[in-house]
Chain A
Amino acid sequence: MVPPLPTAGFGILHFAFCTLHFALFGKLTCSFALLCLVSSSLHAADPAVLKAQAERIAVVDRVATTVVAIFAASGQGGGSGVLISPDGYALSNYHVTSGSGDFMKCGLNDGNLYDAVIVGIDPTGDVALLKLLGRDDFPHATFGDSDQVQVGDWTFAMGNPFLLATDFSPTVTYGIVSGVHRYQYPAGTILEYTDCIQVDTSINPGNSGGPLFNAAGELIGINGRGSFDKRGRVNSGAGYAISINQIKFFLDQLKSGRIVDHATLGATVRSGDDRTVVVDNILESSDAYRRGLREGDEIVSFAGRPIGSVNQFKNVLGIYPKGWTLPLVYRRDTQKQELYVQMRGLHRASELMPKQPGPPRGKPKPEEPEKKDEPEKGESPDGEKPKDAEEPKRPSAPPMNPHDSPAAEIPEAYKHLLEKKDGYINYYFNKLEQDRVLAGMASFDSWKTVAGRWKLTGKTSTDAAFTLTLADNGIGLSLPDSPYFQSLGENDGDAIDEPAGTGGLLIALHQMRLLLTKGREIFSDFYYLGSEPLDGQGDLVDVLISRKDGIETRWYFRKSDHAWLGFDSSLGSDVDPAEVRFLDFGTLNGQLMPTKFLARSGEKEFAVFTVETLDLAAGAN
């Protein structure tokens, strides 16, 4: 099913029955068609038709500048892509770049060939992000809203089918949207097209990775697949484009240089009676389970979309990255409940690693990938396989990366733009993004000189006085009802859920102290994840992740101004994290700090702390 990279000598099997094809497009009415026949001696063409044609030509002229012809640096194979930013970020298919090496040559219709480097890959969604090099004023496409696309809309597909664009000017095909929200089963690989756009616009081998534009020239999808069953790898009237809205969700993740993963609920679903969708099996370790979802619950809506079939559910699930929190409405008996559920990863990291040469794209995978890592029927959900996604394990033999194409010659000037690391296709870009986001913490730099313990006093929202002490050997919180303590240090450092039910608030605050005083270097792992809606709502926020002594912390920053919003620290992957949200900042004792913050875990609020005084001891403790 997947159009592979084209090779020379394709067979043209089109039925050549093209008689005169009236060039009547746009807002043509039937009365005009008739009139055309009646009065053909009077008129050559209707002005409205000429105008529509001129508009179409103008749109093509404008967007053709953004279309990329991708060639493997080795000169073998290639495909298409589209520029999306002036600094050269471009989208393509993973199945195009995976055969092209980490450095590629990219042609634009200005006739120039540019070097490009791989940035991030989404093997499941078949998306790759690359960066064209050498300019900061690249022409680029503007994103449309693919949820607004309707059947019957006119579309342009542009790209490099059959690698015809030897002068790099793209081939344009024109057609209508045949279907929306289509689900395409995985075709023998982990690759899965969900919620995609089906077009009768000709999509042929080589179009892969290229843009699908709407009539206004907005980017609505990335062409990547076709139903080629019977005509041998040429268009058969059904092409598929990955919706641009899905890619918007993944774009920051791709910019992180990581090999990104898709979401799964941690539960399987089946069709119930009367076109309902029912939870079939659920992992007790999943967030969905902790939030209260149970076997037999009927899923009413998911991520804001009504669910009436298993395919619809898969369509919605498939467009989100791992780790996102999404709203889910379920019905049990007659009661409806809304939850915000954090998604698990669909794959283990090892499954996402680019595969060894041989089988070209991934190994065969079960038909229903959402069953991956889920319990078998009758088996206890506790019997789940250990998940190592995101936790790069050291495999005995590191898998060979097809992006390390031996024939590819790396341009000397750009060698530094590629950095290899487990779990990443290009770690270089992760460092760039870390720097960008951490720029928002520059105003906290004075903490770097503070070595001793902190003592904070103030009041909680219930007007209870508190004292919070953060030191190298332990964290203490004293409230009127009782004291709480988390010991640290070499002898006695096991992280515990203290105060009980907070998800480990004290160890979480310790992570904050580490980040403020020691910076990212203190953590055993620190990286830029991408962006996600904070707590499942509102605008996307940038997410940094740190790991130290088994504690994973997600740090949240507003995208517009890098403002620090809060963080979540978890004691483990199967328990609710301690969540801290900053409500106000102020300067105490000369230090900028969060002076009002909310602490909660699960949906349970522990307290809102308002800090009134800060005492800093000199030296270590």
Chain B
Amino acid sequence: MRMQLVRILSIIAVLMLGCDFAAAQSSRETIASVSPKVVKIFGAGGIKQLYAYSTGFLVSPEGHIVTVWSHVLDSDAVTVVLADGRKFEGKVVGAEPQLDLAVLKIPAEGLPHFQLADASTASPGARVLGFSNMFKVAAGDEQVSVLHGVIAAKTTLAARRGVFEAPYHGPIYVVDAITNNPGSGGGVLTTWDGRLLGMIGKELRNAQTNTWLNYVIPISELSQPVEEIIAGKFTARRAADSEQEIDAASLDRFRPGDFGIVMLPDVVARTPAFIERVTLGSPAAQAGLRPNDLVLFVGEELVQSVRMLREELGRLESGGQLRLVVRRGDQLVTVELPIPRKED
């Protein structure tokens, strides 16, 4: 009687879930089908603690790639390496920083890809596989690294300043696989039979406990903006986060770009105020500022981070001269730039 019930239930189970389940895959088969849809991304970074690589996954045959929004994408173009070793230049076609989401495009066609519409969900205890470019171990046409684990929890990431500095707020999967590694962000979490569950979030450390969180953003949070970005009709959500508010409030104030300066991406708590680029022909270029100059003083104020630099620039008034002291090699150099007029 019991056996019969089990049999009936199992038949129901198989029927309910269609042919996907009838062909229960081995992990080898799953890996063989998922790996070609995952790409390695190489871009900006390379400075201590800022890894110049990450992961992404293909969501269209024409080369649309979903990845995490990070400093790696700060360069004009990034290199995307497919599972077969082919290399392409990838361009950012859209981003939703609040979701830690970016979409890239590479000029290719006929690529293996995930169907976002077929993405799945899973509950705690479900066995999962994680695919990523962790530690940049896989070179050339080597396939990305695969980790196994289970979903430990489905919860909400409540990022709070001082604890988890992450722009993303929302539902996440917490997994027991160590997905929180350099380069893993933008990788995929799939079910044991290869259905897409989510995107591996970028490195996230709890500053109070000094622990790293292995978390994954469910696809359901990402699929709509991704589809809108691909369709070209995406508008970013209203800024809600306090940092964004500061930026919004300082819209009419001076920023590094007004002088032709591009700073190192502000990605850690106290990113040193290094100049990454100087726009050709800009006031900064005319004043002789160079990439890799470390800004020490804005006027009379000592600046210890990119953030402090931004705040100082934000206090400037139109007209007059801006005096900067920068460290170049082992020299201190003082430059003066004209402060342009801002139209209100």
Which residues of A pack against B, CB within 8 Å?
Answer: 13-22, 24, 28-35, 38-39, 42-43, 150-153, 175-179, 181-184, 198, 200, 227, 229-231, 235-238, 275, 308-312
Question: Counting chain B CB atoms within 10 Å of each CB, which of A20, A22, A24, A31 scores highest?
Answer: A31
Q: B147 to A308, Cβ gap below 8 A?
A: no
Q: Which of B127-185 contact A (CB under 8 A)?
A: 127, 129, 134-135, 137-148, 150, 152-153, 174, 176-182
Distance in Å from the Cβ of B343 to the closest Cβ of chain A?
Answer: 47
Cβ contact within 8 Å between B27 and A176: yes
B29 to chain A, nearest CB (A): 9
Given contacts A42-B6, A175-B148, contact A29 B143 (CB under 8 A): no
B212 and A15 contact, CB distance less than 8 A: yes
- B140 close to A22 (CB less than 8 A): no
CA of A89 to CA of B331, assembled, Å: 61
Judging by beta carbons under 8 Å apart, are A237 and B28 in contact? Answer: no
- Of the candidates B126, B144, B177, which one forms a contact with A237 in the assembled complex, judged by CB atoms under 8 Å apart? B177
- The closest CB in chain B to the CB of A240 belongs to B137
Supposing A230-B181, A308-B140 touch, asked if A31 and B5 sit within 8 A by C-beta, the answer is no
Query: Are B147 and A31 within 8 A (Cβ)?
Result: no
Which A residues are in CB contact (< 8 Å) with B67? none
Instruction: Tell me the bound Cα distance from A35 to B7 in angstroms.
Output: 10
Interchain CA distance A175-B149 in the complex, whole Å: 9
Q: A20-B125, A152-B31 known; A176 and B146 CB under 8 Å?
A: yes
Would A176 and B124 count as touching, CB distance under 8 A? no
Please, which residue of chain B has its CB at the minimum distance from the CB of A24?
B127
> CB-CB < 8 A to B147: which residues of A?
176, 178, 200, 237
Contact of A236 among B10, B30, B144, B178 (CB under 8 A): B178
Complex Cα distance, B35 from A22, in Å, reads 26
- Measured CB to CB, the nearest residue on chain B to A178 is B145
Residues of A within 8 A of B10 (CB): 31-32, 35
Which residue in A17, A176, A309 is a CB contact (below 8 Å) of B153? A17
Interface string of B64-93 (1 = CB under 8 A from A): 000000000000000000000110000000
Instruction: Known contacts A175-B148, A308-B140; decide if A30 and B27 are in contact (CB<8 Å).
Output: no
Instruction: Name the CB-closest residue of A to B16.
Output: A34
Given contacts A31-B24, A35-B13, A237-B134, 15 further A-B contacts (CB under 8 A): A19-B124, A22-B127, A22-B150, A30-B24, A31-B17, A150-B28, A152-B26, A179-B142, A179-B145, A181-B142, A184-B137, A200-B148, A237-B178, A275-B141, A309-B141
B140's contact among A29, A35, A312, by CB below 8 Å, is which?
A312
Instruction: Show 24 A/B contacts (Cβ-Cβ < 8 Å), sorted by A.
Output: A14-B211, A15-B180, A15-B211, A17-B213, A24-B127, A30-B24, A31-B13, A35-B13, A43-B6, A151-B35, A152-B30, A152-B129, A176-B147, A177-B146, A200-B147, A200-B148, A200-B177, A200-B178, A229-B182, A235-B178, A237-B178, A238-B145, A308-B85, A311-B139
Complex: how many Å from CA A509 to CA B96?
Answer: 79
B177 contact set on A, CB distance < 8 A: 200, 237
Shortest distance between the CB of B313 and any CB in chain A (Å): 33
Q: A19-B124, A39-B6 are in contact. Are A31 and B14 (CB under 8 A)?
A: yes
Residue of B nearest to A201 (CB): B148
CA distance A553 to B297 in the complex (A): 73
Give the Cβ gap from A595 to chain B, nearest Cβ, in Å.
53
B135 — which chain A residues lie within 8 A by C-beta?
227, 229, 238
**Residue numbers in B under 8 Å from A28 (CB-CB):** 127, 192
B24 touching A19 by the CB < 8 A rule? no
Provide the residues of chain B in CB contact with A275, threshold 8 Å.
Answer: 85-86, 140-141
- Chain B residues with CB under 8 Å of A183's CB are 139
Establish whether residues B192 and A179, one from each chain, have CB atoms under 8 Å apart when the complex forms.
no
Interface pairs A-B: 4 shortest CB-CB: A237-B178, A309-B140, A29-B24, A152-B27
Partner of B146 from A15, A152, A227, A231 at Cβ < 8 Å: A152
In the assembled complex, the Cα of A190 lies from the Cα of B214 at a distance in Å of 34
Minimum CB distance partner of B20 in chain A: A30
CB-CB nearest in chain B for A184: B137
Instruction: Given A227-B181, A309-B140, verify A17-B13 contact (CB < 8 Å).
Output: no
B residues less than 8 Å from A175 (CB atoms): 148
Question: CA–CA, A309 to B140, complex, Å?
Answer: 7
Please give, as numbers and ranges, the residues of chain B lying within 8 Å of A238 by CB-CB distance: 134-135, 137, 145, 181
Instruction: Say yes or no: is B2 at the interface (Cβ < 8 Å to chain A).
Output: yes
The answer to whether A237 touches B179, judged by C-beta atoms less than 8 angstroms apart, is: yes
Partner of A176, one of B17, B148, B150: B148
